């Protein structure tokens, strides 16, 4: 069988002490099962000239190949175009995009830099799987160098409609670069349909079928592949984790109060500020909840060097202080706000011990926290997932309490509903979700994508 080559902005080399991110959790099962090469940025930024070498490290049956970035490349490619332009626009936030042609140049330059190092490692029959918005032009860079490998692309975050994506400066150069892939995959059918509309409206390329189009002498296919979680494995982890000292101490500190949990990276797309306002509405509109429920919000800092993120962190801290100051008592703090990451076992135990989870992003490609919370629950006495209808996970978690995160009153009422929901209803809602998540376990996700890439006639769930 042809070797699998995964390419992503960051490479998830294990045993580095940090909790694996969503992309790493999604990719690793496919690589562990088949072996192969994982190529990308090392995370190191060189102050001077970058060594023109690739670091090679092998663990189990996976080879990790990483390169460093120069300081200017990091600033223009990562902090600049990827996080100040693509991230906000792809999350429907045109108002936050800060475009400069210098940053666009850095973005294209780093993709060329990746291609120049990756091609030295490629074999003619390798199947290449490129991940996420950082590397949209990578296939074109490889094609321009004469590589004819099967190359697939999967975007983990949303893809907005043409009415938004065309506001991206130079979109007519950047988005059509995706046509150099053989398969372009999305989290939801809405995202795939948005890309299809862009291809039809802006590129005018002829369609081969309802889910593929002609580009030169090749056919490019579009598919939907919602990322899952290790459903059964996470459930086992949660059952063990509730017995750990860490989780027991947290529960003991609640003094019998119900716990609501939120776990999000610090990012404006997660809607944390509006969520806090919704919890405040719960305390305002439902006085019996005061002193009876504690909201634990775990929010590791991210991208602190970007001004918008540091300002958001200050605003959220101020909001937490305001709510705790207004409603708190010497014996009860309404919100516990923590800015550090926790291990998967710790989070699994906390999920299982929480009466409800607040997962209310303003826009999210999928959101694996929602799925992990469902997987962690005791089916005999499950908690309730309160989920934004704008998260990709809402498609599979249809029996969660789906909410509009912009409506603080409605979210506050949903929290009250979750806390008072009868056991039979909680069991029924959870049963429906866990069935879907088990059928779409992460171990099947990579297989479906790779099977579709290798055998184009088997595209499933594709958008027209």
Question: Strand 127-131 and strand 218-224: pairing?
Answer: unpaired
State how far the alpha carbon of 251 is from the alpha carbons of 257, 276, 292, in Å: 9, 22, 14
Name the strand (E) or helix (H) holding 39.
strand 36-46
Helix axes 307-327, 272-285, angle to 10 degrees: 10
The pLDDT assigned to 31 comes to 87
Task: Say which residues have a Cβ less than 8 Å from residue 223's Cβ, sequence separation at least 6.
Answer: 183, 184, 185, 186, 192, 211, 449, 452, 459, 460, 461, 462
Contact criterion met (CB below 8 Å) for 60 and 32: yes
Task: Say which residues have a Cβ less than 8 Å from residue 198's Cβ, sequence separation at least 6.
Answer: 161, 162, 165, 166, 175
Rounded to whole angstroms, the Cα distance separating 166 from 97 reads 13
406-439 pLDDT, tens digit per residue, is 999 999 999 999 999 999 999 999 999 999 999 9
The pLDDT assigned to 61 comes to 87
Q: What angle do CA 397, 402, 403 make, to 5 degrees?
A: 150
Q: From the candidates 68, 182, 267, 364, give the one annotated as an active-site residue.
A: 364
Contact criterion met (CB below 8 Å) for 421 and 384: yes
172-210 pLDDT, tens digit per residue, is 999 999 999 999 999 999 999 999 999 999 999 999 888
The pLDDT assigned to 461 comes to 44
Contact criterion met (CB below 8 Å) for 181 and 217: no
Task: Say which residues have a Cβ less than 8 Å from residue 449's Cβ, sequence separation at least 6.
Answer: 129, 152, 154, 183, 185, 223, 225
Q: How crowded is residue 170: how many other Cβ atoms within 10 Å of its Cβ?
A: 13
Any idea which residue has 């790493």 for tokens?
A: 24
364 in catalytic set: yes
269-315 pLDDT, tens digit per residue, is 999 999 999 999 999 999 999 999 999 999 998 766 667 788 899 99
Beta-sheet strand order (sheet of 335-338):
335-338, 293-298, 258-263, 356-359, 384-388, 401-403
The pLDDT assigned to 303 comes to 67
Q: How crowded is residue 53: how many other Cβ atoms within 10 Å of its Cβ?
A: 9
344 alpha carbon, distance to own chain's centre: 16
Rounded to whole angstroms, the Cα distance separating 361 from 401 reads 14
Contact criterion met (CB below 8 Å) for 154 and 185: yes
The pLDDT assigned to 462 comes to 41
Three-state SS annotation for 238-300 = HHHHCCCHHHHHHHHHCCCCEEEEEECCCCHHHCHHHHHHHHHHHHHHCHHHCCCEEEEEECC
Rounded to whole angstroms, the Cα distance separating 430 from 173 reads 45
Question: For every one of its 464 residues, what pLDDT tens digit does the chain have, with 9 covering 90 and above?
Answer: 789 999 999 998 876 545 566 677 778 878 888 889 999 999 999 876 666 789 999 988 899 999 999 999 999 999 999 999 999 999 999 999 999 999 999 999 999 999 999 999 999 999 999 999 999 999 999 999 999 999 999 999 999 999 999 999 999 999 999 999 999 999 999 999 999 999 999 999 999 888 999 999 989 999 999 999 999 999 999 999 999 999 999 999 999 999 999 999 999 999 999 999 999 999 999 999 999 999 999 999 876 666 778 889 999 999 999 999 999 999 999 999 999 999 999 999 999 999 999 999 999 999 999 999 999 999 999 999 999 999 999 999 999 999 999 999 999 999 999 999 999 999 999 999 999 999 999 988 999 999 999 987 654 444 43
Q: From the candidates 91, 131, 134, 156, give the one annotated as an active-site residue.
A: 156
The pLDDT assigned to 53 comes to 85
The pLDDT assigned to 14 comes to 76
Question: Strand 55-59 and strand 62-70: pairing?
Answer: antiparallel
The tokens for 365 are: 């490609």
No. of H helices and E strands in the chain?
A: 17, 16
Helix axes 368-376, 231-241, angle to 10 degrees: 60
Q: For 287-290, which contacts have Cβ atoms below 8 Å and span 24 or more sequence positions?
A: 289/415, 289/416, 289/419, 290/327, 290/334
171 in catalytic set: no
């Amino acid at each position: 069988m042809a070797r699998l080559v995964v390419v992503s902005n960051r490479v998830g080399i294990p045993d580095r002490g940090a909790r694996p991110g969503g992309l790493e959790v999604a990719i690793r099962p496919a690589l562990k099962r088949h072996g192969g090469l994982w190529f990308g940025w090392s995370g190191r930024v060189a102050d001077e000239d970058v060594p023109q070498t690739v670091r090679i490290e092998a663990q189990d049956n996976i080879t990790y190949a990483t390169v460093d970035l120069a300081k200017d490349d990091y600033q223009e490619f990562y902090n600049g175009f990827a996080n100040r332009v693509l991230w906000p626009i792809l999350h429907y936030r045109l108002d936050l995009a800060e475009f400069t042609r210098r940053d666009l140049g850095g973005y294209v330059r780093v993709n060329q830099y990746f291609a120049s190092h990756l091609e030295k490692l490629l074999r003619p029959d390798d199947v290449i799987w490129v991940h996420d918005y950082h590397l949209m032009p990578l296939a074109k860079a490889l094609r321009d160098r004469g590589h004819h490998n099967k190359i697939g692309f999967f975007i983990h975050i949303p893809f907005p409609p043409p009415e938004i994506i065309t506001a991206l400066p130079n979109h007519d150069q950047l988005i059509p670069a995706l046509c150099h892939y053989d398969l372009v995959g999305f989290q939801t059918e809405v995202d795939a349909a948005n890309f299809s509309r862009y291809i039809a409206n802006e590129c005018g390329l002829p369609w081969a079928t309802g889910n593929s189009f002609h580009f030169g002498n090749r056919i490019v296919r579009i598919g939907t592949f919602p990322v899952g979680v290790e459903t059964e494995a996470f459930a086992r982890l949660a059952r063990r984790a509730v017995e750990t000292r860490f989780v027991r101490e947290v529960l003991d500190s609640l003094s019998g109060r119900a716990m609501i949990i939120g776990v999000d990276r610090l990012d404006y797309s997660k809607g944390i500020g509006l969520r806090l306002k919704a919890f405040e509405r719960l305390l305002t509109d439902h006085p019996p909840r005061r002193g009876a429920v504690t909201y634990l919000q775990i929010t590791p800092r991210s991208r602190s060097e970007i001004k918008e993120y540091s300002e958001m962190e200050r605003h959220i801290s101020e909001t937490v202080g305001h709510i705790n100051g207004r409603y708190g008592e010497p014996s009860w703090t309404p919100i516990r706000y923590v800015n550090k990451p926790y291990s998967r076992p710790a989070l699994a135990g906390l999920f299982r011990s929480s009466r409800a989870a607040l997962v209310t992003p303003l826009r999210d490609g999928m959101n694996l926290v929602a799925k992990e919370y469902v997987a962690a629950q005791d089916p005999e006495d499950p908690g309730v997932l309160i989920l934004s209808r704008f998260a990709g996970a809402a498609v599979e978690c249809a029996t969660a309490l789906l909410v509009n995160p912009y409506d603080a009153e409605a979210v506050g009422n949903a929290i009250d509903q979750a806390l008072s929901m009868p056991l039979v209803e909680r069991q029924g809602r959870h049963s429906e979700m866990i069935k879907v998540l088990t059928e779409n376990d992460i171990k099947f996700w990579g297989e479906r994508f790779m099977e579709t890439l290798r055998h184009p006639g088997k595209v499933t769930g594709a958008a027209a």
